[in-house]
Copies of this chain bind each other. A is one copy, B any other.
Amino acid sequence: MPPKPLDYELVNENVKKAQYAVRGELYLRATELQNEGKKIIFLNIGNPHALGQRPLTFPRQVVALCQASFLLDDPNVGLLFPADAISRAKHYLSMTSGGLGAYSDSRGLPGVRKEVAGIIERRDGYPSHPELICLTDDAGKAVMQILQTIIRGQGDGVLVPIPQYPLYSATIALFGGTLVPYYLEETANWGLDINEIRRSVSQARYKGITVRAMVIINPGNHTSQCLSEANLREVLRYSYQENLVLPGDEVYQQSIYQDERPFISAKKVLMDMGPPISKELRLVSFHTVSKGYWGECGQRGGYYELTNIPPETVDEIYKVASIYLSPNVPAQIFMGLMVNPPKPGDISYDQFVRESKGILESLRRRARLMTDGFNNCRNVVCNFSEGAMYSFPRIRLPPRAIEAAQQARKAPDVFYCLKLLEVTGISTVPGPGFGQKEGEFHLRATILPAEENMPAIMDSFKKFNDEFMDQYEDHRDLFKDVISSL
């Protein structure tokens, strides 16, 4: 019998090729174990509220009032909501054409886009235009919308940093393009090496691929490095020379855990460089309400800003946005609140600052606790998380562990992470989901568990790792290492 539509044989090959490891084998096994009653510590997904981070009070008050807008006329509303939340709810409702239940403009509420443009101007010191800002159902959808516009087929390549956030590989596969990998340099705290990019582009061209775009992720997801201004300049100059569009994933710009290398936007660096590049390089910058001290992942809100994109292409991009009708409206309000939080003098200002500073300072301590915890383990080395919310330690697996993994038909780090999960309940994502150099092994863990639980989690990891290494490490191996290091 010939196959029928939706038989596996007939499923769109691009769909089959797309991989999404963050919710892959490890996640499924963790869910199974949880259903069997085992306590699972989910370090696999950057999902702050699921790991106990409390939402900021003020934005939740405002959005709750926008939902229950009839409360604004209730004489008792002041008993539950502060006056500034009430006035902000009225402010945002006045931007809608029928409250949260009405579709907005496909690009999002004009009033919120204006507020977003305002904060970009203050951040960078350069103009930003509401007409070139599009609100979206989180940054992932925004990335998809832009890559769909760029990719026309297998011959179109997109440079993506490796290790990478698998949204990129999955999206490029879904749209039938070719991922062109450039490796970040682990020994330089996951720095971006322009020579490596050149090498990768040459190799792609040799294969007949036209490289169309270069994704940069700053701070790194999930390598957590902050790119320096000099590094960004190099990248922008290179993109300009090579006619590449630059999708700039900056969703972690508010999650910075050190003072030496603050976040600097690609747009600011570009504008600082002056013409002709500042007027010509095509940049699309992404942001979200899911990350930082907001962590409102479940609301699904984000935006992108278009810089130097030709007007007729802007129209095409917005046409695609119009097919999706409208991003969800409550999350648009969250975005408005994120770029326009309470100001000094507002009733809610002190509480807002206390809550947001509390989260950020704790994340900074947790980034340190986790890095130190991993570096304290045998055969584990880990760069400090300068920003974002992940730790990505390298695990030096002994040859006998690699053999055991091969026998179990698993990649060595998948094997290691599965054992870690079974023994400790710690759910991580092994390196192959993100890409890594041949013969290297990693895992990804979020730095998000509650601070008070962190020491116990790292102790549990250390205990597992020590026992694992004891089991698979051979004294002859150790001896060989000593010999070879002489």
Cα–Cα, bound, A472→B299 (Å): 53
Copies of this protein, total:
2
CB contact list, A1-57 vs B, under 8 A: 4-8, 10-13, 15-16, 18-20, 22-23, 45, 47-53, 55, 57
**A131 at the A/B interface (Cβ < 8 Å)?**
no
Q: Which of A146-154, A387-395, A398-406 contacts B (4 or more CB under 8 A)?
A: A146-154
| B-side contacts of A102, CB under 8 Å | 47-50, 297-298
Cα–Cα, bound, A25→B75 (Å): 45
Cα–Cα, bound, A217→B310 (Å): 38
Provide 15 A-B residue pairs closer than 8 Å at the C-beta atoms, listed in order of the A residue.
Answer: A6-B310, A8-B310, A10-B152, A15-B149, A16-B316, A20-B322, A50-B98, A98-B298, A101-B299, A102-B297, A103-B297, A140-B324, A299-B328, A328-B328, A330-B330
**A80 at the A/B interface (Cβ < 8 Å)?**
yes
B23:A322 contact, CB within 8 angstroms = yes
* CB-CB nearest in chain B for A169: B323
* CB-CB nearest in chain B for A289: B101
A8:B316 contact, CB within 8 angstroms = yes
* CB-CB nearest in chain B for A12: B152
Cα–Cα, bound, A174→B60 (Å): 37
Instruction: Report A442 CB to chain B, min CB distance, Å.
Output: 21
**A264 at the A/B interface (Cβ < 8 Å)?**
no
**A189 at the A/B interface (Cβ < 8 Å)?**
no
A298/B310 contact (C-beta < 8 A), A68-B60, A150-B6, A152-B12 known? no
**Contact among B49, B104, B245, B326 for A6, CB-based, below 8 A:** B245
* CB-CB nearest in chain B for A331: B328
**Beyond A48-B102, A103-B297, A103-B298, 10 extra complex contacts between A and B, CB < 8 Å:** A5-B244, A7-B313, A8-B312, A15-B148, A50-B97, A57-B70, A60-B69, A64-B64, A64-B65, A101-B295
| B-side contacts of A310, CB under 8 Å | 6-8
B328:A148 contact, CB within 8 angstroms = no
* CB-CB nearest in chain B for A296: B101
**A119 at the A/B interface (Cβ < 8 Å)?**
no
**A222 at the A/B interface (Cβ < 8 Å)?**
no
**A71 at the A/B interface (Cβ < 8 Å)?**
yes
| B-side contacts of A18, CB under 8 Å | 319-320, 323
